Amino acid sequence: MPVELAPRNKRGLTLTSPLIAGSGAIGYADSWPPGVTPALFGAVVTGPITLRAQRGAAPPRLAEITAGFALDAGDHNPGYHRVLRDHDAAWRRLGVPVIVALGQSRPEDWARLAQHLEEESGAAGLELAMPPFAGRAEAGTWVAAVRRAATLPLLIKLSAASAEMLAETCVEAGADALVIGGGTPAVGRAVGPEGQGRDALWIEGAAGGPVAFPFTLQALRAVAALELQVPLVAAGGVTRLDDTRRYLGEGASAVQLRSLCWIDPARVAAIAEALGPLPSAIEEDSS
């Protein structure tokens, strides 16, 4: 059954499936794990891009924690000119909507970047991840600026910690949909390139994997209770079909997958089949 993520936007953003490949899961729609294809999703979200090339956090960027991982990528990207040069033609041929993620670390560039993407790319929408330090005033100002700069459907991604506080402000400023989840702080111990000992590092980043599920679920419930009349997308912690169904049952119109695409591609295909036109194909995920 089609899912409309931008019912108030004249362009619309119609998905044939409620499953979305989340930001960075498949790079710039060019890094597909074996068995994971565009046909499994209603849309894909690119890795974050900025106006100019930007180095990410120094490696290592990922550390294992209990029931998940801590990730500090730092918006590493080659800049929008190169991304469009290398990938825009493929986006236009992909067969599913491509939503471009705006780099979280440069809110001052968001409006200009949104305008460039609207005029120069085949993007079907934009996803703007609100920085963890944003308050209501900043969030409202930034979302309104992007809304004035571009008519593309605009999804605002809010961390589990700030979603309830910022949701109404973002909708009033022009968000077409809200992506709820991610951003829960986590600290894990990683190992540097030289091995153990003095090269062991502490990674302070966002929690990913199963550990993120309860935080996202709680935030989704809180935002759904606000009845803001925009679609909600849950993002974080999905490892099985039941997780996806739980999010959809708690008010989400769609669900994003990220790390699962690489950890268990077969599970992604099974979830997609269950949520597709033949939902009886998999009645329950028993694992």
- Structure tokens, 279: 């939902």
Look at residue 10 and tell me whether its pLDDT is greater than 50.
yes
**Structure confidence at residue 281 (pLDDT):** 31
Q: Mean pLDDT of all residues in the chain?
A: 88
Confidence at residue 282, expressed as pLDDT on a 0 to 100 scale: 32
Q: What is the pLDDT of residues 85-105, one digit of tens each?
A: 999 999 999 999 999 999 988
- Give the residue, 286 or 33, on which the prediction is more confident: 33
How confident is the model over 37-77, as pLDDT tens digits? Answer: 999 999 999 999 999 998 866 777 667 766 666 666 678 89
Per-residue model confidence as pLDDT tens digits over 218-257: 999 999 999 999 999 999 899 999 999 999 999 999 999 9
Residue 12 confidence (pLDDT) above 50: yes
Domain extents in the chain: 3-281
- Where is pLDDT greater, at 133 or 197? 133
CATH 3.20.20.70 fits 3-281, yes or no: yes
pTM of the shown model: 0.88
pLDDT score of 286 more than 60:
no
